[in-house]
C-alpha cells in the first residue's frame, strides 16, 4: 500500500485483459471497505462478496483477493506456504501478481512490504510498513461445536464464548493437555474470539502486539478479518493448563537456530531424519551469515523437502 494503484490502468508490459492486480477497481474498493471495517473492529469477521479467481479454492483465493486489494505498484511481495517460498502454491501466487500487477517479488522477509502466507508467520519480527495477509480456509472458530451460522453470529455479538473452552476442555480430557496445535483460538483486543488460520500455535505469540498490519481472507467462506498493529492477541487457556508453544529438542540442523519452528525432513528411506527451519528465508539468511548446523555440510537441496 505504498502508493495508490493506477486507476483502471492495465499493466503495460503484460496482457491488457487484466486490470492492475487482476481485480477491477470496483471490486478492490469493495474489498478495501471490508478490510477497513475489519481493522476498525479487530477480530470481527466481515462478510464480503468474494470473487472467482483464476485458481481453485484451497489455493488461497481469499488471501489473493486481499493482497490484490492492498497491493500498490511500489510494493514488494513475498509469498510463503508452510514457511517456504518455493512450494508450488507460493510460486504460483507470486507469479500471478508479477504478471497481473508487475510488482517486484522477493523471498526476503525484511525486503517485503506485503507478505501473503499460508500456515506460518515469518520468524523475523515484522515492521510497521509491512502487511501480513493470511489465507484462511475456515474463519469461524466456533463452528467446530456449533454448526449453525445464526447461532455463532449471536455468540460473537453477545460475547458468549464458553464453547471455545469446551473444545479446550475436551482436549485435556482426551489427551491430558491442550492438544490443539494448529488454528489455536485467540481473543483479539479483549473482545472477539478469532481463528488464526491453520498456523501452528507456535506463531500465536507473534500476532500479539505485532507492528505489522495482519489481514485474513477466506475466499470460499467470504469473510475478511484483521488485527491492526500493536493489538493484544491472547491465546485461550485454563489457569491450570496455561498456553504453551511447541518446543524443539534440538536446533535447526542446517543453521543451528533455536526457538524457531522446525519441520521434520526425511533423509532417506531407512528412517534417517533431521529437523530444519520451516522458515526457509530465515534459515538461508542465517547460513549466509555464517551459522552452521550439525548437518550443514550435507548437500540437502531445499527441493528434497516436502
Q: List Cβ neighbours of 46 (8 Å cut-off, separation of 6 or more).
A: 34, 35, 37, 38, 223, 224, 225
Q: Does 290 qualify as catalytic in the annotation?
A: no
For residue 176, indicate whether it is catalytic.
no
Beta sheet of 213-218, edge-to-edge order: 46-47, 223-227, 213-218, 131-135, 114-118, 76-81, 104-105
Shortest Å distance, C-beta 238 to other proteins = 4
Contact residue for other proteins among 172, 234, 245, 300 (CB under 8 A): 172
Q: Does 84 bind Zn ion (CB under 5 A)?
A: no
252 in catalytic set: yes
**DSSP assignment, residue 234?**
E
Distance CA 126, CA 110 (A): 8
With CB under 5 to 8 Å by kind, the binding choice for 191 among other proteins, Zn ion, none is: none
Please return the burial class of 294, using the count of CB atoms within 10 Å of its CB with bins 0-12, 13-18 and 19+.
middle
Catalytic site includes residue 43: yes
In the numeric block, which cell numbers belong to residue 41? 473492529
Which of the residues 43, 62, 219, 293 is marked catalytic? 43
Q: Which of 33, 241, 291, 305 binds other proteins (CB under 8 A)?
A: 241
- Determine which residue in the list 25, 86, 170, 189 makes contact with other proteins, applying CB under 8 A: 170
Q: Determine, following the binding rule CB under 8 A, whether residue 111 of this chain makes contact with other proteins.
A: no
Q: Is 277 a catalytic residue?
A: yes
Among 173, 249, 288, 289, binds other proteins (CB under 8 A): 173
Please say whether the beta carbons of 176 and 239 come within 8 A.
Answer: no
Q: Identify the residue among 112, 194, 255, 265 touching Zn ion (CB under 5 A).
A: 255
Sheet with strand 192-194: strands edge to edge: 192-194, 186-188, 233-235
Q: Which residues bind other proteins (CB under 8 A)?
A: 145, 154, 158, 160, 162-163, 165-166, 169-170, 172-174, 237-241
Q: Which residues bind Zn ion (CB under 5 A)?
A: 252, 254-255, 257, 277, 283
- Tell me the catalytic residues: 43, 252, 255, 277, 283
Amino acid at each position: 500500500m505504498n502508493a495508490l494503484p493506477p486507476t483502471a490502468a492495465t499493466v503495460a508490459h503484460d496482457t491488457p485483459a487484466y486490470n492492475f492486480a487482476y481485480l477491477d477497481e470496483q471490486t478492490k474498493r469493495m474489498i478495501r471497505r471490508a478490510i477497513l471495517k475489519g481493522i476498525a473492529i479487530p477480530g470481527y469477521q466481515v462478510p464480503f462478496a468474494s470473487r472467482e479467481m483464476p485458481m481453485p479454492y484451497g489455493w488461497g483465493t481469499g488471501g489473493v483477493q486481499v493482497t490484490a486489494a492492498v497491493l500498490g505498484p511500489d510494493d514488494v511481495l513475498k509469498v510463503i506456504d508452510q514457511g517456504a517460498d518455493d512450494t508450488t502454491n507460493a510460486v504460483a501466487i507470486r507469479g500471478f501478481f508479477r504478471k497481473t500487477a508487475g510488482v517486484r517479488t522477493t523471498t526476503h522477509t525484511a525486503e517485503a512490504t506485503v507478505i501473503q502466507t499460508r500456515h506460518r508467520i515469518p520468524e523475523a519480527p515484522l515492521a510497521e510498513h509491512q502487511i501480513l495477509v493470511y489465507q484462511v480456509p475456515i474463519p469461524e472458530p466456533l463452528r467446530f461445536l456449533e454448526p449453525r451460522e445464526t447461532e455463532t453470529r449471536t455468540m460473537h455479538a453477545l460475547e458468549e464464548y464458553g464453547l471455545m473452552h469446551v473444545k479446550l476442555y475436551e482436549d485435556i480430557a482426551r489427551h491430558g493437555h491442550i492438544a490443539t496445535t494448529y488454528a489455536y483460538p485467540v481473543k483479539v483486543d479483549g473482545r472477539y474470539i478469532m481463528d488464526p488460520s491453520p498456523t501452528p500455535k507456535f506463531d500465536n505469540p507473534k500476532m500479539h502486539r505485532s507492528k505489522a498490519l495482519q489481514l485474513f481472507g477466506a475466499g470460499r467462506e467470504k469473510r475478511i478479518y484483521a488485527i491492526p498493529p500493536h493489538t493484544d492477541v491472547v491465546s485461550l487457556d485454563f489457569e491450570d493448563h496455561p498456553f504453551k508453544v511447541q518446543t524443539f529438542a534440538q536446533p535447526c540442523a542446517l543453521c543451528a537456530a533455536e526457538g524457531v519452528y522446525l519441520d521434520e525432513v526425511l533423509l532417506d528411506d531407512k528412517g534417517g531424519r533431521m529437523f530444519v527451519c520451516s522458515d526457509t528465508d530465515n534459515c538461508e539468511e542465517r547460513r549466509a551469515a555464517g551459522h552452521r548446523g550439525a548437518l550443514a555440510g550435507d548437500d540437502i537441496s531445499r527441493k528434497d523437502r516436502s
